[in-house]
Amino acid sequence: MLIGYSGSQSKGYNVRDLIELIASIIDTTEGLNIAIIGLGNLGRAIANYIKGKRSKLTVVATFDVNEDKINKPFSGIPCYHFDLLKEKIKEHNVSIGIISVTSAEAPLVAEKLVEAGIKGILNFTPRSLNVPESVYLEEYSIITSLEKIAYFVK
């Protein structure tokens, strides 16, 4: 109701219409490009999860330092060496970076993303990051979430 959409008591909501309305509110017209830094198990899982879920959020690049992954597309997404981050972020007009590297590497990755002009970061490491106020940072720790669930389950 807050977004101006209502269903009927007998049929509920038209889910497709509701999704489209919410997308029109939160998405940009042209969409946003995403880069994933760290193409290990978690990075690949995130890329697969995002693919096809939202038409206005697209993973356009991945980055890693493992030579076995570089220049080999993953699910149709190019994988570049981390040293090319700034260049490729600009080339692909990326505004969101997802960090899925080790905790030790996360601060350097965040610093490089900020230098490249990223506007938003989703941090999947348990390490807290410091970024300028102009960059929106969302930090998600799977372990913290599991510990919270474990607490309420016991």
pLDDT at 90: 97
Joined tokens for residue 76: 């149709």
pLDDT at 144: 85
Residue 7: Cβ within 10 Å count: 13
Q: CA distances (Å), 40 to each of 5, 18, 74, 117, in order?
A: 41, 35, 11, 24
- Say which amino acid occupies 82: F
Per cent of the chain over pLDDT 90 is: 69
| CA distance linking residue 102 with residue 118, whole number of Å | 20
Q: Are residues 11 and 82 in the same domain?
A: no
pLDDT in tens, 50-89: 987 777 789 999 999 999 999 999 999 999 999 999 999 9
pLDDT at 27: 57
From the number of C-beta atoms within 10 Å of its C-beta (0-12, 13-18, 19+), residue 74 rates as: middle
Q: Are residues 99 and 121 in the same domain?
A: yes
Q: Are residues 59 and 117 in the same domain?
A: yes
Q: Are residues 92 and 17 in the same domain?
A: no
Tell me which residues of the chain have a pLDDT lower than 70: 1-11, 13-14, 17-19, 21-29
Q: Are residues 106 and 121 in the same domain?
A: yes
Q: Are residues 36 and 83 in the same domain?
A: yes
Phi, psi (deg, nearest 5) at residue 145:
-65, -45
Per cent of the chain over pLDDT 70 is: 81
Residue 14 belongs to domain spanning: 1-28
How many domains, in total, are found in the chain? 2
Q: Which helix (H) or strand (E) holds 37?
A: strand 32-37
